[in-house]
Chain A
């Protein structure tokens, strides 16, 4: 029983990482009904920018704010510069564009900052939350931040005009334009917000996994898993999904005999397939009705 609790808590800790990434994924999905495969790399790049500022002696919270702002601007610009020209292109072009972005960010980060791992400070202090050291203050902080972000996104999409406009634009750009929504701007705004959320995710994940250019790929994939599990249209669901993926992964590794550890990743990713097949809208997503 103790082992179960320990592993569940470990899983929860890892799950916090996936949950944060899942939020960024949901954000971009709400904006463009696409999954940005480069989201993780963008988050990683933002974190490196923060690291660089810290290395230059900038205090943590100032670096934090500047990074969020720069990421927001960056996401906004990427949409305007790279995706606007191809916004009528088929889905495949989008996917190739995401792949291109992935390659560019990953390569640039490695070129500028090298590949040796770098420790990254945490704003929450190093003390453990639980005495056994299973959960640190930082990880508790991560969970807190994800909840805050969920609340923020919920309020934003539900109760603000801009949020409503964004949802409309993503759902049906043509109709949205007809009612006066400036689709181009809402899309760019959505990109900016997704990039900013990704930056927050990166800043909170790096202290745990250590900062290096290749840290995000699998986390992004788990973020997708969490988002899909919880429902791509539901930020709270995505966070829940992220935690679930973390816990399932940890328990699978512990309780499946012999090859448990080897099967952790396949199981977590297999969950994506399972959920997509049996409940494509996720546990908490809304059903999408296709008009004929």
Chain B
């Protein structure tokens, strides 16, 4: 502030002297020899509280890392605030994290409108805004927003993957789409339409949206079947996807059915919907599903299970949010280790943009994380799969859903 600077010229001179000195970029605020402060907002209350599991899993994972010695000798101090999925609250909490708690960077802040609210702020303040917990496509713009980076495969890429599969395997299909009427649902739909290109108009014969506050989507599914479509794309979050899968089974809709990745968990979606109803559905994946019997003996899953039992015993193992949080946290730990002793914000961002061929424990075989100066989409690959009534069966190659 203007007044304080005038009153302490000596300090000002000293500050200038330090600034002029060449060199070792200073460690970020929140970084000491003993700890690294990381900031996060998650909806722990309100209608989106289901996602709060991600924040809790991450916190538990960092406890594990700390127990095992921390990162290069520093412990992680993970500060996570509740924003109730309300953008004004997110702004308040993030400002508190940056200006009061003085965290080194933000990690896995959750939600598209919530992250949109702080997008400009963190880039102006030059605070790394890493691995945001949303698949919106706008988080991968290194030129315009050099401090923000996504993590999961973005929604439009996913939509394009479905479009490509349909063009290759059912080019004369009539498509009906159910989608959640928000940024996420519209983004995936956009990807599908872009992927279909000129054929979008002719192939998509019906689309129906629903609100998060809808009690059920049964009526929408009935409406879509009535259009005579023989392809059904189900872009919905777990609860609604399960309702739709069940209803489609109940009304005997004979179609090529695709459900989006967010709702592909066997335990959280397919079992409630009824495994017989889920048989034959397609989807894409990039992480192993703990509730899928296919991975019963997998090393990575066993580590994950041991972690959950010890550090987050209250966590719901049926929820795919736990494997998600676990994997995101592992990615961050990798980046921080890569930083070595230079934990300045610039270097943290630089290392985040320098991930090469990282294979996570829970990633599906063949899926690797890559980032570069121009590529702020860490995970771009997905694997198509079909449910055989018991587990997901993969087929085809790992697909890159690159945009543009």
Interface pair A136/B250, CB less than 8 Å apart? yes
Q: Is B214 a contact partner of A218 (Cβ separation < 8 A)? A: yes
Q: A116 contacts which chain B residues (CB < 8 A)? A: 50, 53, 238, 268, 316, 318-319
Which residue of B45, B209, B252 contacts A262 across the interface (Cβ within 8 Å)?
A: B209
Q: A212-B50, A214-B49, A261-B210 are in contact. Are A13 and B218 (CB under 8 A)?
A: yes
Give the complex CA separation of A222 and B216 in angstroms: 13
Q: How far is the CB of A238 from chain B (nearest CB, A)?
A: 17
Q: For the complex, what is the distance from the CA of A154 to the CA of B251, rounded to whole Å?
A: 36
Complex Cα distance, B118 from A140, in Å, reads 49
Q: What are the residues of chain B within 8 A of A68 when measuring CB–CB? A: none
- Per-residue CB contact flags for chain B residues 35-48 toward chain A (1 = under 8 Å, else 0) read 00000000001010
A219–B45 alpha-carbon span in the complex (Å):
19
Known: A133-B251, A265-B211. A214 touches B47 (CB 8 A): yes
Q: Are A210 and B226 in touch, CB under 8 angstroms?
A: no
CB atoms of A17 and B215 under 8 A apart: yes
Could you tell me if A110 and B242 are in contact, using CB atoms closer than 8 angstroms? no
Please determine whether A7 and B219 come into contact, CB atoms closer than 8 angstroms.
yes
Taking a contact as CB atoms under 8 Å apart, the answer to whether A210 and B223 are in contact is no
**Contact assessment for A218 and B268 in the assembled complex, using a CB-CB cutoff below 8 Å:** no
Q: A107: nearest residue on chain B (CB-CB)?
A: B45
Q: Specify which of B215, B218, B226 is in contact with A3 (CB 8 Å cutoff).
A: B226
* Chain A residues with CB below 8 A from B219, complex form: 7, 10-11, 13-14, 249-250, 253
Q: Which of A6-34 contact B (CB under 8 A)?
A: 6-7, 10-11, 13-14, 17
A217 within 8 A of B: yes
Taking the complex as formed, is A254 at the interface, i.e. its CB lies under 8 A from any CB of chain B? yes
Contact B215 A114 (CB under 8 A): no
Interface set, chain A 160-209, CB cutoff 8 A to B: 205, 208-209
- A119 to B245: give the CA distance in the assembly, Å: 13
Complexed CA–CA distance, A253 and B272 (Å): 26
CA distance A217 to B46 in the complex (A): 11
Give the CA-CA distance A17 to B242 in the complex, in Å. Answer: 18
* A residues 105-133 in Cβ contact with B at 8 Å: 107, 110, 114-119, 128, 132-133
User: Which residues of chain B are within 8 angstroms of A262 by Cβ–Cβ distance?
Assistant: 181, 209, 211
Min CB distance A50 to B, Å, is 17
| B residues less than 8 Å from A107 (CB atoms) | 45
In Å, the complex CA distance between A13 and B251 comes to: 14
Query: Interface digits, A40-70 against B, CB 8 Å rule (1 contact, 0 not)?
Result: 0000000000000000000000000000000
Query: A254 contacts which chain B residues (CB < 8 A)?
Result: 223
Within 8 A of A (CB), among B250-283: 250-252, 268-269, 271-272
A128→B209 contact, CB < 8 A: no
B124 CB-CB contact with A under 8 Å: no
CB of B119 to closest CB in A, whole Å: 26
Known: A7-B223, A209-B243. A115 touches B50 (CB 8 A): yes
For residue B112, give the distance in angstroms from its CB to the closest CB of chain A.
Answer: 18
Query: Which of B209, B214, B226, B272 makes the CB contact (< 8 A) with A117?
Result: B272
With a cutoff of 8 Å between Cβ atoms, the chain B residues found around residue A35 in the complex are none
Chain A residue at minimal CB-CB distance from B248: A133
* Chain B nearest Cβ from A285, distance in angstroms: 25
- The reply to whether B213 and A218 contact each other, CB–CB distance below 8 Å, is yes
Which A residues are in CB contact (< 8 Å) with B210? 261
Q: Count B-side interface residues using an 8 Å CB cutoff.
A: 36
Query: Which A residues, 237 to 270, have Cβ-Cβ distances below 8 Å to chain B?
Result: 249-250, 253-254, 261-262, 264-265
CA distance A94 to B242 in the complex (A): 38
**A117, A128, A219 — most chain B CB neighbours (10 Å):** A117
Any A CB within 8 A of the CB of B142: no
With both chains docked as a complex, state the minimum distance between the C-beta of A39 and any C-beta of chain B, in angstroms.
15
| Per-position binary interface string of chain A over residues 133-167, scored 1 when its CB falls under 8 Å from any chain B CB and 0 otherwise | 11010000000000000000000000000000000
Q: Do the beta carbons of B181 and A210 come within 8 Å of each other?
A: no
Interface presence of A275 (CB below 8 A)? no
CA distance A210 to B50 in the complex (A): 14
- Shortest C-beta distance, A273 to chain B (Å), equals 18
Asked if B218 and A2 make an inter-chain contact with CB atoms under 8 angstroms apart, the answer reads: no
> B30 to chain A: which residues have CB within 8 Å?
none
A95 CB-CB contact with B under 8 Å: no
**A231 CB–B CB distance under 8 Å:** no
Q: Which residues of B contact A114 (CB under 8 A)?
A: 53, 314, 316, 319
Contact B181 A14 (CB under 8 A): no
Shortest CB distance B14–A (Å): 50
Taking the complex as formed, is B208 at the interface, i.e. its CB lies under 8 A from any CB of chain A?
Answer: yes
Specify which chain B residues have a CB less than 8 angstroms from the CB of A249 in the assembled complex. Answer: 219
What CA separation (Å) do A257 and B214 show in the bound complex? Answer: 19
| A contact residues around B181 at 8 Å (CB) | 261-262
A3 to B252 Cα, complex, angstroms: 16
Please give the residue numbers on chain A whose beta carbons come within 8 Å of chain B beta carbons, in ascending order. Answer: 2-3, 6-7, 10-11, 13-14, 17, 107, 110, 114-119, 128, 132-134, 136, 205, 208-210, 212-215, 217-219, 222, 249-250, 253-254, 261-262, 264-265
- Knowing that A116-B238, A208-B218 touch, tell me 19 more A-B residue pairs with CB under 8 angstroms: A3-B226, A14-B216, A110-B45, A110-B49, A114-B316, A115-B319, A117-B239, A133-B252, A205-B215, A208-B243, A210-B242, A217-B47, A218-B215, A249-B219, A253-B223, A254-B223, A261-B181, A261-B208, A261-B210
- Residue pairs across A and B with Cβ atoms less than 8 A apart, 19 shown, are A7-B219, A7-B222, A11-B219, A14-B215, A14-B219, A110-B45, A114-B314, A116-B319, A118-B272, A119-B271, A132-B252, A134-B222, A209-B215, A209-B239, A210-B272, A212-B50, A217-B213, A264-B214, A265-B214
Interface residues of B (CB under 8 A from A): 45, 47, 49-50, 52-53, 181, 208-211, 213-216, 218-220, 222-223, 226, 238-239, 242-243, 250-252, 268-269, 271-272, 314, 316, 318-319
